[in-house]
Chains A and B, each alone.
Chain A
């Protein structure tokens, strides 16, 4: 009797352990409960939504930092993701014109159509730069509504965050306080970071920059850098050798500080120009995931300004030492 009860006890322990493992596996395998499903077009907006939404949001980005957001196709996985979204966050001003309208039509999701809280275009909430004087495709695939790469100015992030949290609160009012709290927390950290970056870029003021593609208007505006030339002078059309040679003539004597291009762009023309003119060419992450160490909005600008400072300041030292 005693022996049997011991055995029973032992079996009971085994049973409890088994149930424990089973339940914990179930708990682990259960999907994280998210209140808002967010479809973002670019990784910078995914990162922002994560900051503002914390664990109450499930975010997907249609592109990575290594992909050209102009070139994306309305591929099947994107259609499915968009069907289940409560909120759409994209750059706007025609950056996604080749694929977003098609995705929206295919997804048939009334949460995320124009004029609904779930349809959020970042560019609508900042002052747009780079409005073309002439809209003519002989000048390349110009963005008629202005430059869409608004995230390259960290001050814009603040404006966009403020507008975005309003939408999130509208879509999920039950967690409005939570989103506001997350946003306040983010903005406090952001303010501190912007102050730091401002101090950092003071040293770069007036630096002469050659850009590969006109993706940097907002960054140049923030850091008070001077864009002296664009390699890809007609967006969407590969640069002609004639234009490259004219750049060499222009910058052989009248030097610029640095040539910049985004991680997803082919650096061929930039490095070619570097060889001919001696102006240093650098790869900037452009967005989250552009380089390995860029994992959120904070590290994006940390890395961007570090790379810019390194290039511009060491360049100046080299120049002054060679002048001596």
Chain B
């Protein structure tokens, strides 16, 4: 349509009377060419538009497909999420089932334990009472002319190192158990030349308020070593003041009450009343209430590595006709004061490999009464005198099984008037001393072998005593007392 119009227009513009034929031919050619060119360009326009349209179609298709893909991805994501959620739920379910199972297991186990423990308790009862045996043998060596005599002090039954050569020593049998909910009982028999009751007592266990009552025959709580059995000592024998003033240690039939204060610091006090049959008393004077004592101990830890205890004790004895083997007799009062301390150190408080122990006691004795000598050389001669004694010992565990120890003990006494010269009470100006050195090997908690040498300096004659000792414990587990 456009092209025909163009032609018409062109025709209308042409002058009616044409100038020349040539001109009209050129014009015609021009018009044709123009026309042709117009037609051809119109044809090109048509094809490019189609391509565009096709391209956009493809684009749209691609877009659609992308959208579809995206949708697909979304749905997969959703499915994955759902699956994950289900997985978590499943895991939680498993967890809770496991918890249930473990709870049930716990309960079952508790039941099973209850049952098995009942069995154990029955088994434990077969060890009731605790029965423990201690063997304490020794071999002694000293010169034949040595006589164990402390000048100026009353000899006691137990004093002295014992005979030369091999000795069975004292074997101890201990039986102990809780009697019922209120009492504990313990019996210790000593087998030496015969059988002797060392301890036989009952003790309260549930009195509360820190109160403990003990009745029967037992070792006194005075001092540090007195309450202990000799097999737990660090040396083969007791230091001189124990030998001279307590016959090795004070034990008698009596009653003890102790009270433990409700303080952070350890503070324990006690009073005792005894019959008064054993050294330093005799004769159960004062209607069988011959001895009373009082003591107080303080103690605590300084750090994890260090602990200590300090004590003050007093023993008052009424003595009635205490007679020595030779026949000397003493009647009167014997007042004894003891101050004791013990300090222990081990690295971090771990005692197994290394431990140091320092221990000492000071004794002061006042004797006041009447003395009768042998063969009536003196009869009921009145006297009063003070005696004192002390010892200090250090024991060091330098390896798990090995310990070494040193100990020094000494005694001194007042001089009496001339009438006692040459009697048992005469100290001849001597102050006895003893220096001891020991080395022991502890295989396990239950056995120990010890070598000890004592250097005695009692009077003019000095003497060394060698002691080889074994201690073995079997049966019930012993107590680790401080």
Q: Footprint of B on A, CB under 8 Å?
A: 63-64, 66-68, 71-77, 79-81, 83-84, 94, 97-99, 101-102, 104-110, 113, 124-128, 137, 140-141, 144-146, 158-159, 162-163, 191, 236-238, 264-266
Q: Which of B157-165, B198-206, B366-374 touches A? A: B198-206
Q: Is the CB of B350 within 8 A of A67?
A: yes
The one of A64, A83, A146, A163 in contact with B110, judged by C-beta atoms closer than 8 angstroms, is A163
Contact of B400 among A67, A105, A266 (CB under 8 A): A266
List the B residue with the shortest CB-CB distance to A66: B348
B296-309 toward A: CB 8 Å interface, digit per residue (1/0)? 01111100100111
| Contacts known (A75-B299, A76-B266, A137-B474); A127 close to B113, Cβ less than 8 A | yes
Sorted nearest first, the 10 A-B pairs with minimum C-beta distance are: A76-B299, A76-B266, A66-B348, A110-B206, A98-B480, A102-B479, A80-B266, A75-B482, A73-B480, A77-B301
Q: For the complex, is B349 an interface residue (Cβ under 8 Å from A)?
A: yes
How many angstroms between the C-alpha atoms of A264 and B205 in the bound complex? 33
A71 close to B351 (CB less than 8 A): yes
User: Chain A residue with minimal CB distance to B210?
Assistant: A83
Q: Does B414 contact A (CB under 8 A)?
A: no
Cα A102 to Cα B212 in complex, Å, equals 13
Using Cβ atoms and an 8 Å threshold, which residues of chain B touch A113?
A: 181, 205-206
Please tell me if the beta carbons of B481 and A237 are within 8 angstroms of each other in the complex.
Answer: no
B350 CB contacts on chain A under 8 angstroms: 66-68, 71, 264
A108 is contacted by which of B260, B445, B474, B481 (Cβ under 8 Å)?
Answer: B260
Q: Considering only CB atoms, which chain A residue lies closest to B299 in the complex? A: A76
- A109 interface neighbour in B117, B203, B208, Cβ under 8 Å: B208
Q: Report A303 CB to chain B, min CB distance, Å.
A: 19
Q: Select from chain A the residue with minimum beta-carbon distance to B476.
A: A97
Report whether B477 and A79 are in contact in the complex, using a CB–CB cutoff of 8 Å: no
Q: B206 — which chain A residues lie within 8 A by C-beta?
A: 108, 110, 113
Of A81, A106, A140, which contacts B444 at CB under 8 A? A140
Q: Is the CB of A98 within 8 A of B477?
A: yes
Beyond the given A80-B267, A97-B477, A102-B481, could you list 5 further A-B residue pairs with CB under 8 A, ordered by the A residue number? A76-B300, A98-B478, A108-B208, A125-B113, A141-B446
Given known A-B contacts A236-B444, A236-B445, A76 and B110 have beta carbons under 8 A apart: no
Closest-CB distance, A263 to chain B (whole angstroms)? 10
Q: Mark B446-482, 1 if CB is under 8 A from A, else 0.
A: 1000000000000000000000000000100111111
> Contact at A64–B299, with CB atoms within 8 Å?
no
A68 closest partner in B (C-beta):
B352
**Residue from A68, A74, A126, A145 within 8 A of B120 (CB atoms):** A145
Between A and B, 22 residue pairs with Cβ closer than 8 Å are: A66-B348, A66-B350, A67-B351, A71-B350, A77-B301, A79-B266, A79-B268, A83-B210, A97-B477, A99-B479, A102-B479, A104-B205, A105-B205, A108-B209, A110-B206, A113-B181, A137-B446, A162-B106, A162-B110, A238-B401, A265-B352, A266-B400
How many residue-residue contacts, CB under 8 A, span A and B? 153
A83 and B262 in contact (CB under 8 A), knowing A77-B299, A101-B479, A124-B117?
Answer: yes
Residues in chain B near residue A238, CB distance under 8 A: 400-401
Chain B nearest CB: distance from A238 CB in Å? Answer: 5
- How many angstroms between the C-alpha atoms of A101 and B128 in the bound complex? 14
Q: Given A73-B480, A163-B110, do A80 and B400 touch, yes or no (CB 8 Å)? A: no
Q: Point out the residues of chain B lying under 8 angstroms from A141, CB to CB.
A: 444-446
Query: Are A77 and B210 touching (Cβ within 8 A)?
Result: no
CA distance A158 to B109 in the complex (A): 12
Q: Judge whether B109 and A127 touch: CB under 8 Å.
A: yes
| B99 smallest CB distance to A (angstroms) | 7
Given the complex, which residues of A lie within 8 Å of B204, measured CB to CB? 108
Contact of A71 among B301, B308, B480 (CB under 8 A): B480
Instruction: List chain A residues, Cβ under 8 A from B299.
Output: 75-77
Select from chain A the residue with minimum beta-carbon distance to B95: A195
Q: Is the CB of B113 within 8 A of A108?
A: no
At the interface, yes or no: B89 with Cβ under 8 Å from chain A?
no
Closest Cβ neighbor of B181 among chain A residues: A113
Please determine whether A80 and B264 come into contact, CB atoms closer than 8 angstroms: yes
- Contact B301–A74 (Cβ < 8 Å): no
Identity of the chain A residue whose Cβ is nearest the Cβ of B399 in the assembled complex: A238
Interface assignment of B112: CB less than 8 Å from any CB of chain A: yes
If A127-B112, A137-B474 touch, whether A72 touches B480 (CB-CB below 8 Å) is: yes
State the CA gap A63–B120 with chains docked (Å): 26
CB-CB nearest in chain B for A76: B299
CA distance A256 to B441 in the complex (A): 34
Chain B 229-282 residues near chain A, CB threshold 8 A: 260-268
B211 within 8 A of A: yes
Instruction: Provide the bound-state CA to CA distance between A266 and B352, in Å.
Output: 9
* Contact between chains at B443 and A237 (CB < 8 Å): yes
Contact residues in A for B123 (Cβ distance below 8 Å): 144-145
Q: Is A99 in contact with B309, judged by CB distance below 8 angstroms?
A: no
Write the chain A residue with the least CB distance to B307: A75
Residues of B within 8 Å of A159, CB to CB, are 106, 109-110, 113
**How far is it, in angstroms, between the C-alpha of A113 and the C-alpha of B446 when the chains are bound?**
27
Contacts of B261 in A (CB 8 A): 80
Whether B124 sits at the interface, judged by CB under 8 Å, is yes
The residues of A that contact B352 with a CB separation of less than 8 Å are: 68, 71, 264-266
Nearest CB on B from A218, distance (A):
13
Are the C-beta atoms of B401 and A108 separated by less than 8 Å? no
Q: Are A80 and B307 in contact (CB under 8 A)?
A: no
In the complex, the chain A residue whose C-beta lies closest to that of B401 is A238
Contact B212–A98 (Cβ < 8 Å)? no
